[in-house]
Structure 1
Amino acid sequence: MATSRRLLSVITLFMKMLIFSISGKISWCANAGEVEDDIIWGASEGDAIQQLTWNVTYGIRSPLGTYQKVLLINNQFPGPEIDTVTNTNLLINVYNSLNEPFLITWNGIWQRRTSWQDGVLGTNCPIPPGRNFTYFFQVKDQIGSYFYFPSTGFLKAAGGYGGLKIDNRIIIPLPYPVPNGDVFLLIGDWYNTNHTDLQARLDQGGRLGPPDGVVINGKGPFGEFLTVDQGKTYRLRICNVGISTSLNFRIASHKLTVVETEGSHTKQNSYENLDIHVGQCYSVLVTCNQPSADYYMVASTRFTTPVLNGIGVVHYSNSGTKVSGPLPPGPTVEIGYSLNQFRTITWNLTANAARPNPQGSFHYGMINVTETAVLEGASTAINGKQRYAVNSISYVNPDTPLKLADYFNIGGVFSMNFPRNPSGGSAFLGVFVLNTVYRGFLELVFQNDENIVQSWHIDGYTAFIVGANGGKWTSASRKEYNLLDAVARSTLQVYPQSWTAVLMELDNVGMWNLRSQIWERQYLGEQLYFKVPNPDGSFRNEADIPPNALRCGRAIGH
């Protein structure tokens, strides 16, 4: 009987998804009460469904004064902000009106039990030009600040990104007074060259080189104008949506109190300025307690010469004074400064998580490590062209997504034996997957022997960032781990000639992307996938393939 009801629920939901995909207009299903239980594509009974319709097109904009082709979503640059509440089921119908394949990925969203919706080429076939695809996933047990962006080709350099805000439910109080305002600030480096030309440069074996400037919410110098009321406190959700460069954010004469990063409440430390590495998001509280005036808001490049500045304005509503004078000073090349700041950003053990359960109840430091992998990302050359590799393997996208090949048992697409330690050998092209054990506890070490700051992202998971230091990681480095209040997040930096270590429980079944957030490196091979297997094939561990899943490559006909 239960099986029959479940089948009816699947058919009903599929028909509604189909209608929504075709029309993009129909309003349906105020909640998901019709779904039998929480095994249908990650949806949970009784949780709300929020539907969105997006049309992705090209447009002409001039973020830094040079007119160029950018990516628009519903004619917006940046794209629309997603404003939702934890446990909501998001249904997002995306029309690809470009002349190239397209996918969107949801940076930092766990996608519990449904990597089918991850929006990267290893799990999804791209949406062909002139076609649409409806994403359907739940922001399960998450709160905080995230963003989305295009994952195919080099489209990330053209925009197409936007903020994704997940609010707490009323029964879960914030660990600070509700602010008077809530604003996304999407900061990032920007190239005046069209993304197709940047991609061609990489395809020919070249490198990107430095960016042309820094934008704030897609705007150049003095374009972003934030009006505030004197005496009030605002939550700024700041995400580095760029493709290559760490940034430092500051507001003249104002403190930044960090309260959250990628879904984790943090200890509420205040800073004059804050380093935000590629792909990272922070929430800060800013109290407008200064004399009535206008103040510089600056996002400047870190560890670069020269330093490039993105400049905006914080305008007090009762101000009659325009911003003037020198920019507020910030750090430039000081690695030690950034590392020390990084170590002060820790978990708030007294705050509630997305569900009414104290975060400190998960004593990660008392769990025995069952698996270890050391990943070394490096610049290399293969066949005379610039490439990047992880443990000497430079990833290439196969014609069939790994997730589909795994589901349909299609052989010859990938190998399961990704090496768990750097080999020291010559780099080569390949498609290798790191195999893990369901419910294992993974120690993942990122080793950086280069002279740049690396940035890494783990899809489908947050990980406890337990340690970072200079030199080579060894087993003795575990003595330095923070096993009490390390912050949990999905994006982490690795400083030059240094290592960063994380711990994560492998409880989210699926095929997940682990990539460099520096897009030149990702595009040229610095990524891999790891598989968390479903031990018994149960839909309670992993949702089944969605009925609207696209087929491509060797999966056509399955």
Structure 2
Amino acid sequence: MAAAFLSLALFALAAAASLAGADDPYRYYTWTVTYGPITPLGATHPPQQGILINGQFPGPRIDCVTNDNLLVTVVNLLDEPFLLTWNGIKQRKNSWQDGVAGTNCPIPPGANYTYKFQAKDQIGTFVYFPSLALHRAAGGFGALNVYQRPAIPVPYPPPAADFTLLVGDWYNSSSHAQLRRTLDSGAGSLPPPAALLINGAQRPSGSPFVGQPGKTYLFRVSNVGLRASVNVRVQGHALRLVEVEGTHPVQNVYASLDVHAGQSLAFLVTLNQPAMDYAVVASTRFTPQELTAVATLHYAGATAAAPGPLPAPPPAQAPASYVWSVNQARSFRWNLTASAARPNPQGSFHYGAIRRSRTILLASSAPVLAGRRRCAVNGVSFVVPDTPLKLADNYNIADVIEWDSVPLRPDGGAAPRAGTPVVRLDLHEFVEVVFQNTESEMQSWHLDGYDFWVVGYGNGQWTEMQRQTYNLVDAQARHTVQVYPNGWSAILVSLDNQGMWNLRSAIWDRQYLGQQLYLRVWTPEQSFSNEYSIPTNAILCGKAVGLPH
């Protein structure tokens, strides 16, 4: 009997170790979050109050390998609660670490929290950023690059090195609190941005991107701004697209690439031109005033800059600007022969042949509620509750969640309202989601915990007839999709990741004003193979204070 008990105990320990990813490496980080003066607009402008991580703006870069376990201890020395979210990291079975207000209690001032998650089955370019209180407008963001294991080849020769570009719009305000007060006043949206930044500066000093003639380099680009789409190009060089948000696309060659709010991609550049310094240019898209930031690609040994003007941007005037952009987006195709983060063909999943379980049509709007401008999804503007939705669901706390309270299609007859909607979905459903943009500005949508297939873009009102235009063979997989003005974008998503997941606008003032909701993907079968339990270090707040872990 004792031997049998010992065998069972050893089996249980082995199972627990397997669940914890004991065979995969662990990487430990301690990050202290503080305010500090920054001058991203240059020395001629007064310093702004930035959010620094370990004294850095932008924050430290994480380089890891797929399946690594990451433990990031965040020490909050701000004067208000703080959270980080890991944009694009799928958090398999682990929405407890998602770092948004619907899943996590914020880290109080003077306290700390350790995020524990695995970069599982992912290779690519990702970012982290603050998710609360418009902190993102002050910094706190950084790069998270996931590399392949030796056993998993990527579909291109190893580059000589890779360069990270965090590109985003920036505002001329003394602090994020000033921008937040603008939105809280209900007067309107954010003012126009003052500048575009690359890695925290309009013109990064020195030569941050140094390469050897004849070598090929990987450029990782992420749009970390609040709302503006950007276009990226390299003077005199072609861009070979090789990664889109953790997936391998067909390797088309472009003169420039659009990267919309919340999106990431990577391209190869071969240094095959005369040895000079060349401009790496980013500029805003679809904005009244085009803003530009310039970095330098330095050929080792070069002593002069390349002559001539900076490379021209794509068409800037509507509708030509949108036509150009949507045509490029449609040219992004999934590489069906490449390995994924696991050593198996990523195209083996024939998504176009799977029956849809339901269709969700989500229309944006900007209603006025109680005298203040808000943003809404199908007429419901999300209000962050004091008790995170994930905790309320875990502890069966009443009067927090409004289950299925947002219509799954726009209801033109209903008055807009505020609420905390959560859509209940079953694990392993296969869902069509259509994002309908009813407004004249560019929009962008992100789904935590998932990749999805972007099967179509179109103008005007979506109808079921539009399915005839879908790409059901090799549509690009990604986690954030742009939606063009007065148009629609359609995605297909396999709900294989149990948890409470945020579906939100990646236009950050719209997210702050309520253009978001949550999807609860669930099964009654309780198993660690579906979802992990609440972490023992979880912070409890709201109505969950004092409850047992």
Please classify the TM superposition score into its range, dividing by the shorter chain length.
over 0.9
2:182 corresponds to 1:201: yes
Partner of 2:297: 314
Q: CA deviation at 1:322?
A: 2.9
Q: CA deviation at 1:6?
A: 8.2
Whether the aligned pair in 2 keeps the contact of 1:38 and 1:540 (CA below 8 Å) is no
1:420 maps to amino acid: L
RMSD: 1.4
2:133 corresponds to 1:153: yes
**Cα distance in structure 2, aligned partners of 1:479 and 1:471:** 16
Partner of 1:17: none
Q: CA deviation at 1:368?
A: 0.6
Partner of 1:213: 195
SS at match of 2:242: strand
> For 2:393, which of 392, 402, 406 is the aligned residue?
406
1:220 maps to amino acid: Q
**Cα distance in structure 2, aligned partners of 1:474 and 1:322:** 52
Q: CA deviation at 1:304?
A: 1.3
2:260 corresponds to 1:277: yes
TM-score (norm 1): 0.93
> For 2:32, which of 55, 64, 86 is the aligned residue?
55
TM-score (norm 2): 0.94
Unpaired segments ≥5 residues, structure 2: none
Give 1:213-252 correspondences, 5 Å limit.
213-223=195-205, 225=207, 226-252=209-235
Give 1:538-553 correspondences, 5 Å limit.
538-553=527-542
Aligned residues: 530
2:276 corresponds to 1:288: no
Taking structure 1 as reference, are residues 6 and 402 closer, same or farther at Cα in structure 2, changes over 3 Å only? farther
Whether the aligned pair in 1 keeps the contact of 2:502 and 2:517 (CA below 8 Å) is yes
2:33 maps to amino acid: V
Deviations 1:116-142 (Å, cap 9, x if unpaired)?
Answer: 000000000000000000000111111
**Cα distance in structure 1, aligned partners of 2:96 and 2:333:** 32
Q: CA deviation at 1:327?
A: 1.9
1:318 maps to amino acid: G
Whether the aligned pair in 1 keeps the contact of 2:502 and 2:519 (CA below 8 Å) is yes
> For 1:384, which of 349, 355, 371 is the aligned residue?
371
Deviations 1:332-369 (Å, cap 9, x if unpaired)?
Answer: 24100000000001111110000011011111111110
Deviations 1:23-71 (Å, cap 9, x if unpaired)?
Answer: xxxxxxxxxxx772444xxx32411111111111111110012310111
Partner of 1:300: 283
> For 2:459, which of 456, 470, 489 is the aligned residue?
470
> For 1:117, which of 97, 104, 107 is the aligned residue?
97
1:191 maps to amino acid: Y
Partner of 2:149: 169
Q: CA deviation at 1:323?
A: 5.2
Partner of 1:267: 250
**Cα distance in structure 1, aligned partners of 2:290 and 2:205:** 19
**Cα distance in structure 2, aligned partners of 1:314 and 1:412:** 56
Whether the aligned pair in 2 keeps the contact of 1:266 and 1:346 (CA below 8 Å) is yes
2:357 corresponds to 1:370: yes
Taking structure 1 as reference, are residues 520 and 224 closer, same or farther at Cα in structure 2, changes over 3 Å only? farther
Unpaired segments ≥5 residues, structure 1: 10-33
Whether the aligned pair in 1 keeps the contact of 2:198 and 2:204 (CA below 8 Å) is no
SS at match of 2:426: coil
SS at match of 2:374: strand
Q: CA deviation at 1:223?
A: 3.3
**Cα distance in structure 2, aligned partners of 1:301 and 1:351:** 32
Taking structure 1 as reference, are residues 259 and 309 closer, same or farther at Cα in structure 2, changes over 3 Å only? same
**Cα distance in structure 2, aligned partners of 1:304 and 1:157:** 18
Give 1:402-481 correspondences, 5 Å limit.
402-417=389-404, 418-424=406-412, 425-481=414-470
1:517 maps to amino acid: A
Q: CA deviation at 1:324?
A: 5.5
**Cα distance in structure 2, aligned partners of 1:248 and 1:392:** 32
User: How many percent identity over aligned positions?
Assistant: 51
